Structure 1
């Protein structure tokens, strides 16, 4: 798919820095790509974005177009994480990478290239396994007593290693990503732990979802992962978390990346942009007034 796709068109007002990294305590450096508008405000928020790929494939550059668009549309910095992948680097190594990047942003002492980002609130987000890692980081930070995230963006999250949701059966042969793919990915990432998973490895295993940051959750209607996304959103809401949940009918897993020009994708990304604005305390983009309402006002 990547070989046949045209190169992404990036906004001209956004600069991308490719040679940045965040150190881990064990000496490992986590590569990141930082997208910043040229007129970034000093107190601008930051989005930490985590790419998908079932915890086993994918690279940060696949989401360059999305990250640059968000940076341009909102006027924020976007940090895209090049985390380590299973099976060579199983849980918790990829999670540790993402946690380290977020921690570096929310800690008081920022160093090196991080100085080019704003000092505002931090939002985390991702798609598929990236959403799973984002949810896990949010849980881990809460458990550490660090309520530092302003919000979380979870696009068609891959978060239930037990594969027990109803849609995993009803959409077992779904396009793009199916039940067999899910099983293989969890085997690579968690191994035998996938049957009784650790909370940070499979966020649906968490029994307490209170105290998490506000969330925007998008579920794909024709996706084997649909029901785990809906279940997690509703459980967060029941625990007192502010949640915006959208189920987009008849679209497959990864629809915003596979077909970004479609109506569903445009609606989903517009919702992401507005959610980040809201989480960060910025003004939302108001939709145009419907023609009938405008005529009535006149």
Structure 2
């Protein structure tokens, strides 16, 4: 959850989501309450205007996740500022897939790639 403005449902894939737009709206309201106009980049990273100088960043997301476009956009913005980015978009899987099915091919790959990224710090 890096973008509090991600509230537009995509009916073509909405049935595959394990984290819905309703869940997302509820979570953001729990975080920001009535301060919607006051949220800054520390509450929602997508609101950052200056990404230069940030540390290497690891992002991964399923292609059937409401956060996929937010992650892609954020990764591109970071790369434009010469921030090192490792990005994985796991095909045909929803939000939380690696926790729901860690024994699957993509579940194992996601967990392994995250572990590798942490070990490289």
Q: Which has the higher contact order (CA 8 A, sep 6+)?
A: 2
TM over 0.5: yes
Q: Does 1:217 align with 2:56?
A: no
Q: 2:9 aligns with which of 160, 163, 169?
A: 169
Q: TM-score, normalised by structure 1?
A: 0.38
Note the C-alpha offset of 1:174: 4.1
Distance in 2 (CA, whole Å) between partners of 1:223 and 1:214 is: 23
- Report the secondary structure of 1:229's partner residue: helix
Taking structure 2 as the reference length, the TM-score comes to: 0.88
What is the rounded CA distance, in whole Å, between the counterparts of 2:97 and 2:52 in structure 1? 30
Q: 1:268 to 1:274 in 2, by over 3 A?
A: same
Deviation at 1:275, TM superposition (A): 1.6
Structure index of larger Rg: 1
Q: Which residue of structure 2 aligns with residue 263 of structure 1?
A: 105
**Matched residue SS, 1:240:** coil
Unaligned runs of 5+ in 1: 1-157, 281-298
- What are the within-5 Å matches in structure 2 for residues 200-215 of structure 1? 200-215=42-57
* Cα distance in 2 for residues equivalent to 1:181 and 1:174: 14
Distance in 2, Cα, partners of 1:184 & 1:192: 12
Deviations 1:124-159 (A, max 9, x none): xxxxxxxxxxxxxxxxxxxxxxxxxxxxxxxxxx11
In 1, Cα distance between the equivalents of 2:50 and 2:78? 9
The superposition leaves residues 156-179 of structure 1 with CA deviations (integer Å, 9 ceiling, x where unpaired) of: xx1111125xxx432445422111
Please state which structure has a larger fraction of its residues in helix: 2
Q: Which residue matches 1:253?
A: 95
Alpha-carbon RMSD = 1.7
Question: Is structure 2 residue 21 aligned with structure 1 residue 179?
Answer: yes
Q: Which consecutive residues of structure 2, in runs of 5 or more, have no partner in the other structure?
A: none
CA–CA distance in structure 2, aligned partners of residues 173 and 191 of structure 1: 27
